[in-house]
Amino acid sequence: MKHEFVTLNHVQTHLITFGNPFDCDGKDVIVCITGNPGIPDFYIEFAAELHKSTGLPLCVIGHAGHDIVPDEQSNVLKGQEHLFHLEGQIKHKLELINNYVDKQSKLHLIGHSIGCWLILELLRDNENLAMRLKSVNLLFPTLQKMAETRNGKFVNNYLRKFHNVLLFLYLVVSLLPTAIVNFLVGIYLRIFSLPSRYLKYILKFLNPNVGEKILFLAYDEMDTVKSLNVEILNKIKHFTNVIYSSRDNWAPVSYMEDLHQPEIPMREVNIDHAFVLKSSERVAEMVTQFINTKL
């Protein structure tokens, strides 16, 4: 596993790679696009299991601005909003695939949550990308009517209205002594039975520069993700796999009906939307099974 920093669409970006997806003699490559928050560290266990079980080189990409990077300008939202909304995130992912992933390689795309919507949008105007596809896995996909979901209503009715308060709380946390923040996060991890290694990942989430971009993207999702991109789904239905959760307040199982086509295998599981916290291996096993049918 490697942690790499590259500049994509003018934003320095933290990538996590297994094998060498950028130079692999044309071997198939897995590209995993995270949900929001787009902090790739949370996907390490999931990616490691996928790499181990498929033997394929792999790259995990989060979202522009959702990580702490050395380049200070890449951490600034004001005046650069166009780099961090959904349209900017599409260009961000497209530059990774077009300019870094081995150009001879076929692709297995994996999206989680809003990462699924980004995959469909990437395929909308990029025929060359569609021609490279071997498989697509849409995990707990937020593809339509996000603002109408239970969590979407919470974002619009509460988080959005108290945005300045949230930013103030981020600032307060950043001013607290490190020992106190670590202690409080440690309590959170114990309450929810999460591994201690998540401490450093959550500290990234609590960074004010990261937090404001997570919220900025979330609001754009509420305003933008409305209609299902049926046209693209029809084009990729023969090599697409979809997983929904019976307890998902971002992508309710009732939304499965909009996607239903005989050619698209869909599975309903009892796993949290944020599967990377506790169910990485289980979901990786399901994704591996599908990828292996397309090799």
Q: Which residue type, as a one-letter code, is found at position 62?
A: G
Is 28 a catalytic site residue? no
Nearest Cα neighbor of 256 from 244, 240, 273 is 244
For all residues of the chain together, what is the average pLDDT?
Answer: 96
The 10 Å CB-count burial string (b at 16+, else e) for 107-140 is bbbbbbbbbbbbbbbbbeeeeebeebbbbbbbbb
Please tell me the predicted confidence (pLDDT) of residue 158: 97
User: Rounded to an integer, what distance in angstroms lies between the CA atom of residue 138 and that of residue 73?
Assistant: 32
pLDDT, tens only, 51-80? 999 999 999 999 999 999 999 999 999 999
Please tell me the predicted confidence (pLDDT) of residue 248: 97
Instruction: For residues 44-55, give the mean pLDDT.
Output: 98
pLDDT level of residue 105 (50, 70, 90 thresholds): very high
Instruction: For residues 231-240, give the mean pLDDT.
Output: 93
Please tell me the predicted confidence (pLDDT) of residue 123: 94
Please tell me the predicted confidence (pLDDT) of residue 291: 98
Q: Classify residue 289 by burial, with Cβ atoms within 10 Å: 0-12, 13-18, 19+.
A: exposed
Nearest Cα neighbor of 138 from 229, 63, 222 is 229
Q: What length does the chain have?
A: 295
Q: Which of 135, 273, 279, 280 is catalytic?
A: 273
Check whether 198 has a pLDDT greater than 90: yes
Q: Classify residue 191 by burial, with Cβ atoms within 10 Å: 0-12, 13-18, 19+.
A: exposed
Angle between helices 86-99 and 208-224 in degrees, nearest 10: 100
User: Rounded to an integer, what distance in angstroms lies between the CA atom of residue 10 and that of residue 245?
Assistant: 35
Centroid of chain to Cα 125? 20
Q: Which of 113, 245, 279, 280 is catalytic?
A: 113
Quick one: tokens of 168? Answer: 């103030």
Q: Classify residue 164 by burial, with Cβ atoms within 10 Å: 0-12, 13-18, 19+.
A: exposed
Nearest Cα neighbor of 39 from 248, 186, 283, 214 is 214
Check whether 232 has a pLDDT greater than 90: yes
pLDDT level of residue 231 (50, 70, 90 thresholds): very high
Residue 19 gets the label, from left (phi > 0), alpha (psi -120 to 50) or beta, of left
Cβ partners under 8 Å of residue 246, min gap 6: 253, 268, 269, 270
pLDDT, tens only, 131-188? 999 999 999 999 999 999 999 999 999 999 999 999 999 999 999 999 999 999 999 9
The percent of residues in the chain predicted with pLDDT above 70, rounded, is: 100
Is 248 a catalytic site residue? yes
206 or 261: which leads in pLDDT: 206
Is 14 a catalytic site residue? no
Quick one: tokens of 201? Answer: 């990942």
Give the three-state DSSP class for 80: coil
Please tell me the predicted confidence (pLDDT) of residue 262: 82
Instruction: For residues 201-206, give the mean pLDDT.
Output: 96
Check whether 260 has a pLDDT greater than 90: no
pLDDT, tens only, 8-38? 999 999 999 999 999 999 999 999 999 999 9
Q: Which of 135, 248, 279, 280 is catalytic?
A: 248
Indicate the class that CATH gives domain 2-146+226-293: alpha beta
Please tell me the predicted confidence (pLDDT) of residue 228: 95
Please tell me the predicted confidence (pLDDT) of residue 259: 87
Check whether 125 has a pLDDT greater than 90: no
Cβ partners under 8 Å of residue 18, min gap 6: 1, 2, 47, 48, 50, 51, 57, 58
Q: Classify residue 106 by burial, with Cβ atoms within 10 Å: 0-12, 13-18, 19+.
A: middle
Q: What angle do CA 167, 169, 141 make, to 5 degrees?
A: 65
Please tell me the predicted confidence (pLDDT) of residue 261: 78
Query: Is the Cβ–Cβ distance between 205 and 35 less than 8 Å?
Result: no
Collect contacts of 158-167 with beta carbons under 8 A, ≥24 apart.
Answer: 159/215, 159/218, 160/219, 160/222, 163/215, 166/211, 166/215, 167/208, 167/211, 167/212, 167/215
